[in-house]
Amino acid sequence: MKLVTAIVNKEDSRAVCSELLRHKFYVTRLATTGGFLMAGNMTLIIGTEDEKVDDCIACIAKCCRQRTEIVPGTATVGIGLESAMPMEVTVGGATVFVTNVERFEKL
């Protein structure tokens, strides 16, 4: 058995969950915050059989798209003055980790 952990954009999470449920996956949604942008995102955890992992990732990939976020940054300009400069960051579609599950029980 595997645990799929997927960090997705908040705006995509509803569609991803619907797609996963349509494919009979069990999913838990956690409201999380990205350490870099400090913006809200959604982390999905999905426990599934090894042979269904590719199908699970396909469901996630189908519903997540990349976005460009503009974040404030600092840059040195002219004679060494520091100025706030916006910085473009590409986020997502999804960051996915697949880990082995040693033991799984429902009590």
Question: Contacts with ligand 2BA: how many residues (CB under 6 A)?
Answer: 12
Residue 31 engages ligand 2BA in binding (rule: CB under 6 A): no
Q: Which long-range contacts (CB under 8 A, 24 or more apart) does 23-31 make?
A: 23/55, 23/56, 23/59, 25/52, 25/56, 25/59
Nearer to ligand 2BA, 18 or 33 (CB): 33
Residue 36 within binding range of ligand 2BA, rule CB under 6 A: yes
DSSP secondary structure code for residue 93 in this structure: S
- How far is it, in rounded angstroms, from Cα 35 to Cα 65? 20
The interface with ligand 2BA within residues 73-102 (CB under 6 A) comprises 89-92, 95
- Where does this chain bind ligand 2BA (CB under 6 A)? 7, 34-37, 39, 41, 89-92, 95
